[in-house]
Structure 1
Amino acid sequence: MIRRTFVLGTGATLLTAALPTADAAPALGMDHLRALIEVEQHLYAQDRDHGSADLGHQAAAALHTAHSWLAQGRYGQDLGRRLHTATGMLSVAAGWLALDAGRTADARSLYTEALASARQADDPGLEAHAFACMSLLAHATGRPREAVGTAQVAQRTASGLGSPRWLALLAMREARGWALQGDRALTENAVVRAYRLYEQGPRGADPAWLDFFVPAELAGLESLCRADLGQHYRAAAGAEQAVMLFADGYPRNRALYTADVALHHAHRPSPDLDAATDAGHRTLAQLSEVHSARLLRSLRGIAGTLIPHQDTRCVTDFLDAYRSAVPAA
């Protein structure tokens, strides 16, 4: 029997996960596999639409269940491989939520778990995904050489999977690592490669989780490389392009790139305070819909960058609105 567990947040149901429960040494079947896949998909959908706040403990609970099934359950070799893959994908989702919350040590542990699951399942797709996530973690923790190295390993692992757009994302991960090292030539090379791969279009081999990698995200990822290279005007233009291309979809990503617009304008050699504060106000307006620790960190970064200009009226107005909307760290 499948028992449905309702996890309540502050006044609202944030996640409804269908997780079969069983006694000791249960016989596992397709219902168990589908339940893990559905939980993973639901976590990503909630994060995409509303942000990652309050999702981490739900991902952890689902992972605990998955590991219990693998350790105690009875299943055949084929189902076992698929359960290891589903558990690894759930580890990736939990790692992303941990990274967004700033819990980088937890993210690293979860990505390492995902890599172990990939090896147990003999699944090169999951293995490439885990290395790609490790590259993203390296970006976030200031290890650009590791960011490049893990992105290159991911590209080699994914090279035979028949998904040019996946390789495009991995090339952009590599580009970010080169940009963080200040290597403009190698950054440009990887960015051009990413666009050429992306232009080959979607394929049947594209994994479901790659749905987020729309043209808006491609533009946004390039804008981050431009910012790392100190090209703040181009970075701001690219982030604004990403916001416009997202239109009414992907609220979380749209909010994050709007915050990036503000940061890039504020970091220009001659800051454009009007543009920075305009984007800052647009970001604040999205807090009612998007709940993300990373978004709050971006807003605090915008405010900190603008404080030296607080005698300017538009900056004063933004800082007043910011202090009313964002809790103190």
Structure 2
Amino acid sequence: LFPDEYIHIGGDECFKGFWHKCPRCQARMKAENLKNEEELQSYFIHRMGDLLKSKGKKLVGWDEILEGGLAPDANVMSWRGMDGGIKSAKAGHHVIMTPTEHCYLDLYQGEPSVEPATYSMCRLKDSYSFNPVPEGVPAEMVLGGQGNVWGEAIPTFRHAEYMTWPRGWALAEVLWSGPAQTDWEKFRLRVERHFVRADQAGINYARSMNNAIVTPYLQDGVLEVELGSEIAETDIYYTFDNTDPDCFTPKYNKPLRIPKTASRLRVITYRDGKPVGKLITLTIKELEKRAESDKRTGHGNLTVELQAPNE
């Protein structure tokens, strides 16, 4: 069934509460002198590793397989940031770097209010800034990187394309060329040329990199809003009077204080005198909610963080 060298066994997000209540699991822990359920998982991973090795295969698992001790020949895919991969590589294990903040293509790629619902944030620029070989890690221990498009909130193949491109192009470039050879501005121009090719091929993609980034925050208890964009040459226009913004309405140049009479903020982006981003409309209550959330969680400039739809 599996002719290839590597077999991925998963091992992530394993809830151990049932093991704690399971008489057979507890008996196994006692027989094997295992201190806790983490060591029970490690015991299982070791057995899987030995089985695969006997068949001439190599085990790959998510970074949770580190918990309780890593099987000798295991290869680790690091998704909860880079730390698991760094720790594994320094311990002599090959790793594949796939951290959520750069490689999870099922996440928001721009302003959430104009994107299909998902959770957390991974912008095009986040994917393009990915360095799969962090400082202090031997390059030969990093087998590569991987972009992930998980399907919990992706109902159609057409939408899977939308989530994959252009972030997939960003990961392809940094993984093939390496961070030392990347150039965001040149890449951004290539992306726009790729949009034309995608149109001709009937491939769906996202233009979210052109949308404004809306960051509300509390300054001395007063709500302020910072507007930005992933692309430096972008002009941002806004209104507070419920009219649609265009290049004749106020142009953003410094953080905004909300007028007392305002009920919503509307924002649009222009480049070379033409609109390029989606019209974003956010109520003042929504801005206040985001600012309070960022204050509590310390997300800073993260636009929004929501629960995953399956949680």
Pick the TM interval, shorter chain: 0.3 to 0.5
If the length of structure 1 is used for normalisation, what is the TM-score? 0.32
If the length of structure 2 is used for normalisation, what is the TM-score? 0.33
Report which of the two has the higher share of helix.
1
Report which of the two has the higher share of strand.
2
